[in-house]
Amino acid sequence: DVKVTQSSRYLVKRTGEKVFLECVQDMDHENMFWYRQDPGLGLRLIYFSYDVKMKEKGDIPEGYSVSREKKERFSLILESASTNQTSMYLCASSHPGTHNEQFFGPGTRLTVL
């Protein structure tokens, strides 16, 4: 079974802190994605990566950066957390050969105080 894991289910940070959200997939997928989900807004794409060391901005990249040093790991970084980044963060991975079907991790609920 495809497995996508995220480092934390719940995280509480203070404004201004640097925050790392880690995502690991075990299916050798080329593509990895970070989304945030807010009530009434659905899933919004922050960044994605289609190869090691490659990254592409999604719809809402401001305030975030990413790192993909290894194929299986995709990190989302909040350089200086702000209260408006309180949200549910979901990581996903996909293989181009399966019509880009995405497999999701369990999510990290981040609260920034």
Partner 1 sequence: ILNVEQSPQSLHVQEGDSTNFTCSFPSSNFYALHWYRWETAKSPEALFVMTLNGDEKKKGRISATLNTKEGYSYLYIKGSQPEDSATYLCAPSGTGANNLFFGTGTRLTVIP
The site for partner 1, by CB under 8 A, has a size of: 27
Stretch of residues binding partner 1 (CB under 8 A), selected from 18-26, 65-73, 78-86, 93-101? 93-101
Stretch of residues binding partner 1 (CB under 8 A), selected from 16-24, 61-69, 74-82, 95-103? 95-103
- Kindly tell me which residue out of 13, 22, 45, 63 binds partner 1, with binding defined by CB under 8 A: 45
Residue 32 or 81 having the CB closest to partner 1 = 32
Closest CA to 108 of 83, 89, 86: 89
Burial 6-25 (b: 16+ CB within 10 A, else e): beeeebebeeeeebebbbbb
Stretch of residues binding partner 1 (CB under 8 A), selected from 19-27, 34-42, 64-72, 73-81? 34-42
Instruction: Report the alpha-carbon distance of residue 56 to residue 6 in Å, rounded.
Output: 20
Four-point Cα dihedral 21, 32, 35, 63, nearest 10: 60
Instruction: Report the alpha-carbon distance of residue 55 to residue 87 in Å, rounded.
Output: 22
Residues that bind partner 1 (CB under 8 A): 4, 30-31, 33, 35, 40-43, 45, 48, 50, 58-59, 90, 94, 96, 98-107
